[in-house]
RNA sequence: GCGAAAGUGGCGGAACUGGCAGACGCGCUGGACUUAGGAUCCAGUGGGGAAACCCGUGAGAGUUCGAGUCUCUCCUUUCGCACCA
């Protein structure tokens, strides 16, 4: 054994050992329980970032921990290789996205390998590989056959200068990121997947997913947004019939049908047919609709903008009173939700109330609180009354509770053929069309005479050409006749291939199945039945809704197609927090802000005693920088820490240990160079402890019954640390406290200088426990230390130790004594003492007596094994 | 705007089921060793107080023998909002 710890040599040797034995190749084996441990696949951006390191370290710790518990563990890796950044890189340096992506994958694969993850690399896949994405196309066509995939129009961000569709991310303050031109909303035809058909099941099965974090389940449930309500058709008044060109009705959905008599106006989205019809002869309204078209399509933007509206001059008729209600166009009504129209009930809806106040619309109270706490005559109006209550001013429906009124009104509407009860979801169908190059082609051919024609299965995959270079204006596929010119499969006439590609969420909705059978000639095969569902899935909280919901949907579709036998893809979910670091910036004279990496920032105390942060730059000399606080590590904030440099200077084990110790996995992690030093120091202390122990020669066999009190104490500390770490990793996924337990154990080992044969035997056991517990976290150094302790087995195949009940047993334990809830004494009682004895011992304590003397003891609360509270 | 989460020493965090607030680590202070220390080891380290003790988990109220933990109101920060992945 080397006297001092050399991480590079230790890690090289351990990795070589695992590689030579193909230690991480997972094979189907029906004799062992399987465990599929999966981390979300990375986007190949070029270099690993700390978020990746954190994600894959958590996965690797669990993989190795479960392997030590006898599971047949699969941990695969792949690349989410399609997407926008590759196109952006192509625009800035002219390299085709395919080449850029594959070079990035090669570099990042090497980086992952240097971290020593127990990955079965034989199963590696990249979503840009035709042998992968052909199955996106194949399943899309199956979904289309069932009506689960269909075409309709949707709204996108349009850059009028570049003549291109922009992603939400590419819209900055309502302007195109490259051109600076104000973005417009534009409607184009797109393909959708009917996820709403699964809304009910996606919602309902959340209740059974107890191993998902509560908050993720709540977020998904809210996203699906089931609401029970009522459809109401407001028939067009003659003016609206004339404008629209036919008789008909304005349909709305409401969860508050009980407030129907309080409707004083109607509001429709700017894209609504009634709005467009009214605008034909109304220049001001047309201008307002045009104004609503500005800005991006994101819900956040729509919801935070100033609520504006304009009357159309057209009317509908109240279904019961026949009273005319004017139709307004309002920018807060979303075309995508419900019918794109709402009934305005200012008295009982906050938003309608605000809108009515602004536009001088009447407010009519139709619900009062049952207790009378709400005064209908109250004036001036200050707020809407949005609670349930009892109806008033509602014709034949007056005097009912809100619930009864909703039932009665829905029934009456149904009798008149003007609506009825309905369940509405907030969830919308999933638009998968992207007007972009670097993605999976949608396998459709548009024929002048046959219309939309699916690409026949035998012509799949529709291969994406890899030599195009996007230039930022439009989709290069749409400018490439070699791609889009084709024959119609039906009539053999000349036709045009669809040039839109699929959302990359399609790839990530099923990639985890392909790992089970990467070479299958079908989309999936029987091996999926062995490995799936994923037992533990790990990834960023930012994926809590979209990716996870889409993957759940896709899985249910494949189940219903009879391809797989499970309906939920991920049994247990861990959502890891982000990695943060300090952000330092310098405001130059030109006004452009520059960011500096925290590693380059020097802190010194100025003459006035105040700390200042400075950076030395070649161009500007020494400049003073501002600490902007903590933020997610990112290129734009210049605060990333490169994992490669970290591995070079400290080793993979230090990086892994720090990341697992610095905070619980679900919380954000604040980067700390001192913390990294601390992790490195701990590993060296462990190394030194083993070195000193081993240098004294082999330890004799442990004889537990002959131990001295101090030897028993160390042995107890070792088994206690083991019991805690086992529970912390296995049940709680609380890696930081498991590591703390081992640190405490190493402190105990260090305090014990017992050189007797049994003293050394106890130390041998304690060290061997520490090393096995740390093995999943710092596998390389533990591999070396295990051998140094004299074990001939490979640590990677070793079983996790079991705490010895005899070692943990105690004769007495400590009880705390409170008087009136304040801590006053510690006492020690035999473990088998009964409640009366504990109570007596507590009251007998001199310090307790000091606070009890002269007062009447009203009550004594005894919590066995823990505490006594004397109430006086 | 809507949805979700988080606020505990100088810092990261611990306290798992309502029961000793601050485990473990960082930093800091003192000491040892050393030509030297950004190495290593030892001791100390929530605030106030000479002490007895008192105070202390974002703010305010409540429930309880007992609240960091439960309930309500508020404040701040972070994440998501459907075309970033």
Find the range with the poorest average confidence among A102-111, A303-312, A738-747.
A303-312
Query: Residue A661: which nucleotide is closest by CA–C1'?
Result: B25
Query: Is strand B within 7 Å of residue A304 (CB)?
Result: yes
Q: What is the predicted pLDDT for the residue at A379?
A: 44
Q: What is the predicted pLDDT for the residue at A376?
A: 46
> What pLDDT, in 10s, does the model give residues A600-631?
877 765 555 556 777 888 777 888 787 777 78
Element (H, E) at A464: none
**What is the complex's ipTM, to 2 decimals?**
0.95
pTM over 0.90: yes
Over pLDDT 90: what percentage of chain A?
71
Number of neighbours of residue A642 by Cβ within 10 angstroms: 15
- Residues A241-268, mean pLDDT to the nearest whole number: 93
Q: What is the predicted pLDDT for the residue at A592?
A: 67
Contacts of A402 (CB under 8 A, 6+ apart): A256, A258, A367, A388, A389, A390, A391
- Residues A661-673, mean pLDDT to the nearest whole number: 91
Instruction: Give the span between the Cα atoms of A742 and A778, in whole angstroms.
Output: 12
Residues 220-239 of A with CB under 7 A from strand B: 222-223, 225
Phi first, then psi: what are they for A561, rounded to 5°? -85, 0
Q: Separation of CA A603 and C1' B9 in angstroms?
A: 23
* Token digits of residue A621: 């000399």
pLDDT for A633 beyond 80: yes
Q: What is the predicted pLDDT for the residue at A225?
A: 93
- Residues A62-80, mean pLDDT to the nearest whole number: 98
- Residues A691-720, mean pLDDT to the nearest whole number: 93
Residues 492-551 of A with CB under 7 A from strand B: 503-505, 540-547
Q: How far is CA A848 from the centre of its chain?
A: 52
User: Which residue in A148, A173, A174 sits closest to A160, CA to CA?
Assistant: A174
User: Which residue in A539, A597, A531, A514 sits closest to A565, CA to CA?
Assistant: A531
**Range ranked top by mean pLDDT from A332-336, A509-513, A709-713, A748-752:** A509-513
A715 with A806: CB under 8 angstroms? Answer: no
Q: CA torsion A515→A519→A523→A529, rounded to 10°?
A: -60
Number of neighbours of residue A200 by Cβ within 10 angstroms: 13
Q: Separation of CA A220 and C1' B67 in angstroms?
A: 32
Angstrom CA distances, A11 to A82, A114, A116, A482, stand at: 33, 8, 8, 50
Q: Separation of CA A626 and C1' B37 in angstroms?
A: 31
Q: What is the predicted pLDDT for the residue at A308?
A: 87
* Token digits of residue A770: 């520490």
Q: Separation of CA A674 and C1' B28 in angstroms?
A: 13
* Token digits of residue A285: 């309204």
Query: Is strand B within 7 Å of residue A814 (CB)?
Result: yes
Mean pLDDT of chain A: 91
* Token digits of residue A441: 């082609």
Q: Separation of CA A647 and C1' B43 in angstroms?
A: 34
Instruction: Give the span between the Cα atoms of A552 and A223, in whole angstroms.
Output: 14
Instruction: Give the span between the Cα atoms of A690 and A283, in whole angstroms.
Output: 85
- Residues A24-45, mean pLDDT to the nearest whole number: 96
A140 with A443: CB under 8 angstroms? Answer: yes
- Residues A697-708, mean pLDDT to the nearest whole number: 93
* CA end-to-end span of chain A: 63
- Residues A769-776, mean pLDDT to the nearest whole number: 97
Q: What is the predicted pLDDT for the residue at A541?
A: 86
- Residues A655-684, mean pLDDT to the nearest whole number: 93
Q: Separation of CA A631 and C1' B68 in angstroms?
A: 26
Query: Is strand B within 7 Å of residue A286 (CB)?
Result: no
Residues 585-614 of A with CB under 7 A from strand B: none
User: Which residue in A46, A114, A51 sits closest to A79, CA to CA?
Assistant: A46
User: Which residue in A671, A639, A668, A640 sits closest to A655, CA to CA?
Assistant: A671
Residues 753-792 of A with CB under 7 A from strand B: none
User: Which residue in A288, A261, A264 sits closest to A275, CA to CA?
Assistant: A288
Phi first, then psi: what are they for A265, rounded to 5°? -160, 170
Residue A774 preceded by cis peptide, ω within 30: no
User: Which residue in A850, A865, A864, A863 sits closest to A819, CA to CA?
Assistant: A850
Q: What is the predicted pLDDT for the residue at A591?
A: 62
DSSP A90-101: HHHH---HHHHH
Contacts of A602 (CB under 8 A, 6+ apart): A613, A614, A615, A616
Confidence of residue A378 (pLDDT cuts 50, 70, 90): very low
Q: What is the predicted pLDDT for the residue at A605?
A: 57
A394 with A320: CB under 8 angstroms? Answer: no
Query: Is strand B within 7 Å of residue A871 (CB)?
Result: yes
> What pLDDT, in 10s, does the model give residues A175-207?
998 899 999 989 899 999 999 999 999 999 999
> What pLDDT, in 10s, does the model give residues A344-375?
998 888 888 888 888 999 989 898 877 654 45
Q: Count how many Cα atoms sit within 13 Å of the Cα of residue A140 in the half-sphere of its side chain.
A: 31
Query: Is strand B within 7 Å of residue A857 (CB)?
Result: no
Instruction: Give the span between the Cα atoms of A486 and A150, in whole angstroms.
Output: 22
Find the range with the poorest average confidence among A196-205, A599-608, A696-705, A835-844.
A599-608
Q: What is the predicted pLDDT for the residue at A608?
A: 54
* Token digits of residue A145: 């056959």
Instruction: Give the span between the Cα atoms of A270 and A309, in whole angstroms.
Output: 9
The 3-class secondary structure across A335-379, one letter per residue, is CCCCCCEEEECHHHCHHHHHHHHHHCCCCCCCEECCCCCCCCCCC
Query: Residue A190: which nucleotide is closest by CA–C1'?
Result: B83
Number of neighbours of residue A712 by Cβ within 10 angstroms: 16
Q: Separation of CA A629 and C1' B61 in angstroms?
A: 33
- Residues A436-453, mean pLDDT to the nearest whole number: 97
For A404-413, the CB contacts below 8 A with 24+ separation are A405/A257, A405/A258, A406/A230, A406/A256, A406/A257, A406/A258, A409/A230, A409/A257, A409/A258, A409/A260, A410/A230, A410/A257, A412/A320, A413/A230, A413/A231, A413/A232, A413/A233, A413/A257, A413/A319
Local structure of A154: helix, strand or coil: strand
A410 with A230: CB under 8 angstroms? Answer: yes
Over pLDDT 70: what percentage of chain A?
97
A600 with A618: CB under 8 angstroms? Answer: no
Instruction: Give the span between the Cα atoms of A270 and A379, in whole angstroms.
Output: 33
Query: Is strand B within 7 Å of residue A80 (CB)?
Result: yes
pLDDT for A782 beyond 90: yes
DSSP A762-776: HHHHHHHHHHHHHTT
Query: Is strand B within 7 Å of residue A480 (CB)?
Result: no
Q: Which bases of chain B come closer than 7 Å to a protein CB?
A: 1-6, 11-16, 19-21, 23-27, 39-42, 53-54, 65-67, 78-85
* Token digits of residue A664: 């619980």
pLDDT for A419 beyond 90: yes
Q: What is the predicted pLDDT for the residue at A607?
A: 53
A702 with A759: CB under 8 angstroms? Answer: no
* Token digits of residue A14: 């351990």
Q: What is the predicted pLDDT for the residue at A377?
A: 43
Find the range with the poorest average confidence among A240-244, A450-454, A578-582, A786-790.
A578-582
pLDDT for A2 beyond 50: yes
Query: Is strand B within 7 Å of residue A822 (CB)?
Result: yes
Residue identified by tokens 């894209």 is: A271
Query: Residue A157: which nucleotide is closest by CA–C1'?
Result: B83
Confidence of residue A382 (pLDDT cuts 50, 70, 90): low
Q: What is the predicted pLDDT for the residue at A611?
A: 64
Q: Separation of CA A750 and C1' B37 in angstroms?
A: 24
A581 with A633: CB under 8 angstroms? Answer: yes
Query: Residue A868: which nucleotide is closest by CA–C1'?
Result: B19
Q: Is A322 left (phi over 0), alpha (psi -120 to 50) or beta?
A: left
Q: What is the predicted pLDDT for the residue at A372?
A: 56
């Amino acid at each position: 054994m080397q006297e001092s710890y050399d991480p590079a040599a230790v890690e090289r040797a351990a990795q070589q050992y695992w590689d030579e034995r193909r230690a991480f190749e997972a094979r189907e084996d029906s004799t062992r329980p399987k465990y599929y441990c999966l981390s979300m696949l990375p986007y190949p951006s070029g270099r690993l970032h700390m978020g990746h390191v954190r994600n894959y370290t958590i996965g690797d710790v669990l993989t190795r921990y479960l392997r030590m518990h006898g599971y047949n563990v699969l941990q695969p890796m792949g690349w989410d290789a399609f997407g926008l950044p590759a196109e952006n890189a192509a625009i800035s340096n002219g390299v085709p996205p395919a080449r850029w992506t594959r070079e990035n994958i090669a570099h990042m694969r090497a980086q992952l390998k240097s971290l020593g993850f127990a990955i079965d690399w034989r199963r590696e896949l990249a979503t840009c590989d035709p042998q992968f994405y052909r199955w996106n196309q194949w399943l899309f066509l199956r979904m289309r056959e069932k009506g689960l995939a269909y075409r309709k129009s949707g709204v996108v961000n349009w850059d009028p200068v570049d003549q291109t569709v922009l992603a939400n991310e590419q819209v900055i303050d309502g302007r195109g990121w490259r051109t600076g031109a104000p973005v417009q909303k534009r409607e184009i035809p797109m393909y959708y997947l009917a996820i709403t058909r699964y809304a009910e099941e996606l919602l309902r099965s959340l209740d059974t997913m107890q191993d998902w974090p509560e908050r993720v389940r709540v977020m998904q449930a809210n996203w699906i947004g089931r609401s029970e309500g009522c459809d109401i058709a407001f028939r067009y008044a003659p003016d609206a019939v004339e404008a629209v060109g036919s008789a008909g009705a304005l349909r709305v959905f409401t969860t508050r049908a009980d407030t129907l008599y309080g409707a004083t106006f109607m509001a429709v989205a700017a894209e609504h047919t009634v709005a467009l019809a009214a605008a034909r002869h109304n220049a001001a309204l047309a201008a307002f609709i045009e104004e609503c078209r500005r800005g991006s399509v994101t819900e956040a933007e729509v919801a935070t903008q100033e609520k504006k509206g304009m009357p159309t001059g057209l009317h509908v008729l109240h279904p019961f009173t026949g009273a005319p209600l004017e139709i307004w166009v309002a920018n807060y009504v979303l075309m995508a939700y419900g019918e794109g129209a709402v009934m305005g009930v200012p008295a009982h809806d906050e938003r309608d109330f605000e809108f009515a106040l602004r536009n001088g619309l009447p407010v009519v109270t139709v619900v009062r609180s049952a207790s009378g706490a709400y005064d209908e005559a109250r004036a001036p109006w200050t707020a809407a009354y949005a609670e349930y209550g009892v109806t008033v001013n509602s014709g034949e429906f007056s005097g009912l509770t809100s619930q009864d009124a909703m039932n009665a009104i829905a029934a009456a509407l149904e009798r008149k053929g003007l609506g009825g009860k309905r369940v509405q979801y907030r969830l919308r169908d999933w638009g998968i069309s992207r007007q972009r190059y670097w993605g999976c082609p949608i396998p459709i051919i548009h024929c002048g005479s046959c219309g939309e024609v699916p690409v026949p299965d035998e012509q799949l995959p529709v291969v994406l050409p890899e030599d195009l270079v996007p230039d930022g204006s439009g989709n290069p596929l749409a400018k490439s006749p070699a791609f889009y010119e084709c024959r119609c499969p039906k009539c053999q006439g000349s036709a045009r291939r669809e040039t839109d590609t699929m959302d990359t969420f399609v790839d990530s909705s099923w990639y985890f199945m392909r790992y089970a059978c990467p070479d299958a000639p079908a989309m999936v095969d029987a091996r999926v039945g062995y490995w799936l569902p994923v037992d533990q899935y790990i990834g960023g909280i930012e994926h809590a809704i979209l990716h996870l919901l889409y993957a759940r949907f896709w899985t249910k579709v494949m189940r219903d197609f009879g391809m797989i036998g499970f309906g939920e893809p991920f049994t247990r979910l861990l959502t890891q927090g982000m990695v943060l670091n300090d952000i330092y910036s310098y405001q130059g004279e030109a006004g452009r802000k520059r960011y500096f990496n925290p590693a380059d920032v020097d802190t010194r105390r100025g003459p006035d005693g105040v700390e200042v942060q400075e950076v030395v730059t070649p161009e500007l000399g020494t400049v003073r920088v501002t600490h902007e606080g903590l933020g997610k590590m990112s290129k734009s904030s210049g605060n990333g820490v490169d994992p490669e440099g970290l591995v070079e200077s400290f080793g993979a084990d230090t990086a892994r240990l720090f990341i697992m110790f610095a905070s619980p996995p679900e919380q954000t992690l604040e980067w700390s160079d001192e913390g990294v030093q601390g992790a490195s120091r701990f590993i060296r202390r462990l190394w030194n402890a083993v070195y000193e122990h081993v240098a004294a020669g082999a330890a004799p066999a442990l004889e537990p019954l002959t131990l001295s009190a101090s030897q028993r104490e160390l042995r107890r500390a070792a088994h206690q640390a083991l019991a805690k770490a086992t529970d912390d990793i296995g049940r709680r996924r609380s890696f930081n406290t498991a590591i703390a337990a081992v640190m405490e154990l190493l402190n105990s080992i260090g305090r014990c200088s017992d050189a007797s044969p049994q003293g050394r035997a106890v130390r041998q056991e304690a060290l061997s426990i520490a090393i096995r517990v740390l093995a999943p976290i710092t596998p390389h150094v533990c591999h070396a230390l295990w051998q140094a302790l004299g074990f001939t087995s490979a640590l990677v195949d070793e079983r996790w130790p079991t705490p010895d009940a005899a070692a943990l047993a105690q004769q007495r334990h400590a009880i705390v004594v409170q008087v009136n809830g304040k801590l006053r004494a510690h006492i020690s009682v035999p473990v088998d003492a009964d409640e009366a004895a504990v109570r007596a011992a507590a009251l007998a304590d001199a310090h307790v007596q000091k606070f009890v003397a002269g007062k009447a003891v009203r009550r004594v609360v005894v919590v066995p094994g823990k505490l006594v509270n004397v109430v006086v």
